[in-house]
Amino acid sequence: VLKLLAQRLGLGLITLWAASVLIFFSTALLPGDFASAMLGQAATAENTAAIRTSLGLDKPLLQRYTDWLGGALHGDFGTSLASHRPVMDEIKPRLLNTFFLALYAAVVAVPLSVFLGVMAAIRQGSIFDRAVNVGALTSISVPEFFLGYVLIMFLGVHYRVFPVLSAVNPAMPFGTRLYFAFMPMITLVLVIMAHMMRMTRASVLQVMASPYIEMAYLKGLPKWRVVVQHALPNALAPIVNVIALNLAYLVVGVVVVEKVFVYPGMGQMLVDAVSKRNIPVVLACGLIFAVVFILLNILADVLSIMSNPRLRHPR
């Protein structure tokens, strides 16, 4: 298993490097640069040039890449062009916010969708099964900002149970943070649940068709034990994969939800950074997203191999 892990991590590093090249040179293709984006309509030749020189934007592209890569290897991601603070200092609070929200949503969504999926599989074809399916499909079929606005309308404006602004800050106690982040969390849960729930249901049902399940029934086991002890462990591999993909989405794909609830996460920061051409921040965000994706995928691979004895002990 260790050898496997090392191999995957090595591959991950190569992917990461490829991603950094891709991010760096594709951002260089964008029209305009920080100086002109910052000044917008107020740009003149003089003040644009002054900003460019002071930020080293006049250096050749390749040199900028090697400079940046060298720094990044030492954990130095450069300074933000806008605030002149180190990029990591700027990203850190937002990164933590994003992880917080992702974890919050995951803690609710993963057990809930696996549970509902298993229940739906046990009661295949029942009213419960159908209701859960319809509900999940509905929530995944409408755009997430719409879900957000509907929640705001009922829970925020009409009944005023939860705050419509989820502007969390580091000084908030943990409980308050949970309260403020509740509505974006629910929105995300609704968005990712359908995928995981249906995958759980489908793979459990697939395993349920195999002969050894029939054997378990014949032993006289109750249905729930058959499903939970015999079917679920063997159905785990595809479920873990889907969960990993959805967790990655929670980190990298939530910009719309952040915007609707004014949640200070990474997504909004990346959008601002791209539109202002604040390249060091774009690069760092891109790299962090790549790391999250790669790690979660490695984790999913490893877990699905571990859950399958045939893959665990290849012959």
Partner 1 sequence: MNNWDELQKAARTGKLTRREFLGRAAALGVTTSLASGAMATMSFAADAPKKGGTLRLGLAGGSTTDSMDVRTYTDSFMMNVGAAIMNATIEIDPDNNPIPSLFESWDTKPGAAEWVFKVKQGVTFHNGKTLDADDIVYSFNLHRGKDTKSSAAVYLAGVDDIKATDKHEVTFTLKEGDADLLYSLSDYHFLVVPKDFNDWSKPIGTGAFKYDAYEPGVSARVVRNENYWNPGRGNVDVAEYTCINDTAARMNALVAGQVDLIHRVDTSTIDLIKAVPNLQLIQKAGGYHAIYAMRCDMPPFDNADLRRAVKYAVDRDQLLKALFNGYGVIGNDTQIPPTDPFYNTELEQYKYDPDKAKFYLKKSGVTKITAPLSASDAAFNGAVDAALLFQANAKAAGVDFPLKKEPADGFWDNVWLKVPFCESYWGGRPCATMMMTVAMASTAAWNETGWKVPAFDKLLSDAKKEIDHEKRKQMIWELQRMTHDDGGAVVPAFKSWVDAADKKVKNYQPYSLYDLCNTRVAEMVWIDEA
Residues in contact with partner 1 by CB under 8 A are 30-32, 36, 38-47, 50-51, 53-54, 80-84, 90, 93-94, 149, 152, 156-157, 160, 163-165, 167, 169, 259-262, 264, 268-269, 272-273, 275-276, 278, 281
Is the Cβ of residue 7 or residue 53 nearer to partner 1 in the bound state?
A: 53
Instruction: Between 64 and 259, name the residue whose CB sits nearer to partner 1.
Output: 259
Give every CB contact of residue 66 below 8 A, 6+ residues apart in sequence: none
Tell me how far, at minimum, the Cβ of 96 lies from partner 1, in Å.
13
- In degrees, rounded to 5, the angle at the alpha carbon of residue 76 between the alpha carbons of residues 74 and 81 is 155
CA–CA distances in Å: residue 97 to residues 34, 76, 163, 198: 26, 21, 17, 29
- The least CB distance from residue 171 to partner 1, in Å, is 9
Closer CB to partner 1, 19 or 155, in the complex? 155
Q: Which is nearer to partner 1, 43 or 213 (CB)?
A: 43
Least distance to partner 1, CB of residue 187, Å? 13
C-beta closer to partner 1: residue 241 or 278:
278
- Token pair 């806008």 is found at 82
Residue with Cβ nearer partner 1 (95 or 243)? 95
3-state secondary structure 67-93: HHHHHHHCCCCCECCCCCCEHHHHHHH
Label residue 255 exposed, middle or buried (CB < 10 Å: 0-12, 13-18, 19+): middle
